[in-house]
Structure 1
Amino acid sequence: MRSLASRWGTFALIMLLTVSLAPSVLAEEKPLVIASIPSLAEIVKEAFGDSVRVEILVPLGVDPHEYQLSPEQVEKAQSALVIVTTGGHLPAEKKLRELSEKGEISAKVLGIEDYQKEGFRFVEKSWMGGSNEHGTWMDPNNALAIAKATKEALIESDPRNKDVYEREYGVFEERVRTIVEAYKVIFENMGKKKAIIELPAHQYALNWLGVKVVDAIKPEEEAPAKSVDVLLSAVEDVDFIVYSKNSPDPLKNAAMELSQRSGRPLANIVYMWTNEEYTKVLEENTAEILKALSSQESQPKTVELKQGVSEIYVLLAMIIGIVLGFAVGMFIKE
């Protein structure tokens, strides 16, 4: 009898320990943040590190304007804490917003109104008018607004880890602002620059640097691409042409032909990517622009006025990495 009582006592103790420990074990599970596209996922990953799990709705290489949610993704969304969208105009994002309004998912679905509270802004499409909704995250100020709105949503849903989210976001913000300030000095000294872009999303990679977009090869998602012959008159007034190596061949080839026929240099800009930190892509894109401008400035027609300038810009771009590393390192130590 004693043996049986002892066994029951041990079993009861184990059960009590299991019940008492369960909440703390569950609490240690990282909250799930779902991002609608890979680029936003990289912002969240870099901004919050290992404090969250991040999953993507629309895989890289799939047109997000055509993608529909699968039943498995809807089920996954039910366990998310926060859902980060491009603003809510994509079909998958609209569906998630609808599910949220019906109470079928409890996650906070972030949209433009949340980002605008943190400083997010659209830019005007200078080639045709109207707000540009494409590639907004490539403006680092918008990326910070998206990350900050995510931070606020995480804190609201998981206040116990407020200090963690604040600290992680603070490091990310410092890193981004250091990049912005470093390149701002360079571009202010270069004067006003102009470009023709391949796609509307490229505008946000240029606007924060003070580069004006004169025209776009494909003006809008639904609009047909312009011919090279039509763009040749506009290219006379620009310093370089922006394209993406992973764009559809017709668009990419048009940008290359325009560059070849006009003599204007190309800058390869990335706005959709995965498995690479946002700040690294930001630096690489800006380095591409500097490279194109250095090439343009070293042409014979500008040598007398710009002698030595391109070399200075290249040197400054090279040392920015060292400055960034030092600045972020000091911030973390503090």
Structure 2
Amino acid sequence: MTARTRIAAVAVALSLGVGVSACSTTTADDGPLVVVTTNILGDVVERVVGDQARVVTLMPPGADPHSFEISPKEAALILDADVVVSNGLGLEEGLERHVDAARADGVPVVAAGELVEPLEYTAGDAAGTLDPHFWTDPQRMVDVVDGLEREFAVAIDGIDADELAQTSAAYRSELLELDAEMTSAFAAVPAERRALVTNHHVFGYLADRFDFRVIGAVIPSGTTLAAPSASDLDDLTTAIEEAGVATIFADSSQPDRLVQVLADEADIDVDVVALFTESLSAPGEGAETYLEMMRSNQRLISTGLSP
């Protein structure tokens, strides 16, 4: 079996996701209920709202947001929420109908993607559509915090606006510190080596913020539910060879078999490094919070692309 045949043979395997259903509850034991779809946004919401609301995050650690699904009990929880926070740009493909049902039932829905200036995909099957992976840019997450503070002050009955302002300001400062750290660290990566290849298109915002080039993705789409064709992989192999890519980055929620085969096919010294890009990790795995995830990814990207 040739390398390109092996790539085609495992292409579908990488594109398949396994639905996982589990939710976590943090902060206040009672009071207003805020239901959040993804665990990255769940962590941010917890920091913004502090102890003034009960935050339930539907997506478990390590799950793929494109494919995870929820139970009927969790779907009912969305309808009972005082506020629902979602990505809003089509990320949670298995949850859109539940969020839409809550909105139709009168539940306030805050779409985080509507709080930032979104980018469009520029390549692949999703070209021209909005990219939902805005959290890879810490500056845009500052915009998310600003918007959440504003929306919660209106949507959550009885919330203390002064306390909300304090918790939001404290977290905003941490995000700005993160952005400064990443700017400094990435500045040390030579410009000619700032070339990103991932399992699917996830780093458009990071590339825009920190001056990277996105060479391509194994799955040329904004979702892991798509599948690459043999010609897609052929084109990507050529681009990797021409750009002299040193490392390919695979999301930890997806198997890396296809990425590894592609690395072998490129016939150059290419490493495959797993990042937490779309989901936080379980406790103790190094990406338990948004801030931890971003710092971990920054270190891995910097190391993977440096001479």
Q: Is the 8 A contact 2:251 2:276 kept in 1?
A: yes
SS at match of 2:77: helix
The unaligned stretches of length 5 or more in structure 2 are: 1-27
Higher helix share: 1
Higher relative contact order (CA 8 A, sep 6+): 2
Matching residue of 1:234: 239
Q: TM-score, normalised by structure 1?
A: 0.67
Q: CA deviation at 1:201?
A: 1.9
Query: Residue 100 of structure 2: which of 77, 94, 97 is its match?
Result: 97
Q: Is the 8 A contact 2:33 2:82 kept in 1?
A: yes
RMSD: 3.0
Distance 1:93 1:77, change over 3 A: same
The aligned runs of 1:245-324 (5 Å cut-off) are: 245-254=252-261, 256-257=263-264, 261-271=267-277, 272-274=279-281, 275=283, 276-294=288-306, 297=307
Matched to 1:225, the amino acid is P
Matching residue of 2:179: 180
Matching residue of 1:311: none
Q: Find out whether 1:133 has 2:131 as its counterpart.
A: yes
Distance 1:153 1:159, change over 3 A: farther
Per-residue deviation, residues 9-43 of structure 1 (Å, max 9, x unmatched): xxxxxxxxxxxxxxxxxx99443211112222122
Q: Is the 8 A contact 1:196 1:238 kept in 2?
A: no
Q: Is the 8 A contact 2:63 2:253 kept in 1?
A: no
Matching residue of 1:325: none
Matching residue of 1:3: none
Q: CA deviation at 1:53?
A: 2.2
Comparing 184-193 and 32-41, the one that deviates more: 184-193
The aligned runs of 1:100-249 (5 Å cut-off) are: 100-103=103-106, 106=107, 108-111=108-111, 115-116=113-114, 118-127=115-124, 129-156=127-154, 157-158=156-157, 160-188=159-187, 190-191=190-191, 193-220=194-221, 221=223, 223-225=226-228, 229-235=234-240, 236-239=242-245, 240-249=247-256
SS at match of 2:182: helix
Matching residue of 1:47: 48
Matching residue of 1:87: 88
Q: Is the 8 A contact 1:218 1:225 kept in 2?
A: yes
Q: How many residues are treated as equivalent by the alignment?
A: 262
Q: TM-score, normalised by structure 2?
A: 0.72
The unaligned stretches of length 5 or more in structure 1 are: 1-26, 298-334
Matched to 1:111, the amino acid is A
Q: Is the 8 A contact 1:242 1:255 kept in 2?
A: no
SS at match of 1:208: helix
Matching residue of 1:34: 35
Cα distance in 1, alignment partners of residues 73 and 238 from structure 2: 51
Distance 1:155 1:238, change over 3 A: farther
